[in-house]
Structures are given as structure tokens and as C-alpha cells.
Amino acid sequence: MEPLVGWSHGDSAEVAVLVYRGVCSSEVEMVGDALARPLGATVRLVSAEPGNVVAVEPARFVVAEPLSEVARPYGLVIPGGLGWRREAERSELVDWLKGVAADARGIIAVSTGSLLLAATGVLDGREAAGHWLAGDLMAELGATPSSDRVVHGRLLVTASGALAGAEAAEELAAEMRFSF
């Protein structure tokens, strides 16, 4: 199987997809593509540890660029994965996520990716969907856990898993195109 690398639906915008060891590759592909395609955007896979990153579900290599290469993406996808907690302890990554979250036109966090986003403080006091087993952790990190598949917060969306995330990403792309 060939490694997963960034891809393009055009060059009108960039969508950054955060990847890390243990990230769910189906969420990277499904949600990243569902957000980028309607926007005619290029998908940039970024990581605090650039190069080959081992993803799971299904297992494969993902080729990632350094975070610094994509400082101001139009959209941001934060997929879930087994390594979310390790990533939440990286100050470089947390700072990058906070900065991107402040500037991006739209953000979607999926499954345990919602926990990673909550660990930055971006979801403090906000209702958020995520992995069905992570409600207590979500609350500990300052967000209000929801059992809904998707929680829309205007241009900040959280979703419970890959399928819900892909569906929500298409809706988010439409909102991003028409928001000012």
C-alpha cells in the first residue's frame, strides 16, 4: 500500500489535516476530503513530527509536513486517534492549534480529535461531540460533552466519528464558502 500524502482539488485554499502517530487514517482521508473537495482546496497533512507517520484504522504511513509549513490554513481537520493525549502535551502543537483555530475559516474535530482540541482550551465551556467513551475526559478538559453525532458551533464543528465527520465536513464547507 502506498503512503497517504496531501492531495488537491484545486488551489483556491488550503485545508490542514493534523496527523500524528496513531491517528485514524480513515478520518484523515474521509473528513479531509469531504471538507476540501467542495472548497476546491489543497489538503496539507501536517504534524509536529514531519515525515512518515504511522496511522491506524487502516494501518498505513502518512507523509506529513512540518506544522510551520501551514501557518494559516483556510480550514482545519483534527482527526482522532490513539495518540491524541501525547500530542496534547506538545507545547508546539498546542500553540499551533490555538493560532490556527483563531484564524481558520472553519474547523472540524472528530472522535478523540475533539479531546485534542479541548486540551488547547478552544472548546472551554462549549458543547462538543467526540468519541462515545470520552465524555468524562471531555468534561475534564473544559468542554461540555454531547452524545450527539455532530455539534455545530457555527464554523467550529465536532463529530463522533469518521462518517459523522465526513457528513458534517460537507456542511461546514458550504458554511465556509458563504460566511463573511
Q: Does 2 fall in a domain?
A: no
In angstroms, the first-to-last Cα distance of the chain is 41
Cell of 143: 468542554
pLDDT of residue 4: 81
Dist CA 81 CA 94 (whole Å): 16
Domains held by the chain: number: 1
Q: Does residue 1 fall inside a structural domain?
A: no
pLDDT band for 9, please (50, 70, 90 cuts). confident
Domain extent for 154:
7-174
Residue with cell 469531504: 34
C-alpha cell at 156: 467550529
In a domain, 122, yes or no: yes
Give the domain CATH number at 142. 3.40.50.880
Q: Is residue 58 part of a domain?
A: yes
Asked if residue 151 has pLDDT above 60, the reply is: yes
Identify whether 180 is part of a domain: no
Query: Which residue's entry shows cell 501557518?
Result: 71
User: What is the per-residue pLDDT across 36-87, written as a single tens digit (0 to 9) for each?
Assistant: 999 999 999 999 999 999 999 999 999 999 999 999 999 999 999 999 999 9
Residue 101 backbone phi and psi in degrees, to 5:
-60, -30
- 108's grid cell: 472540524
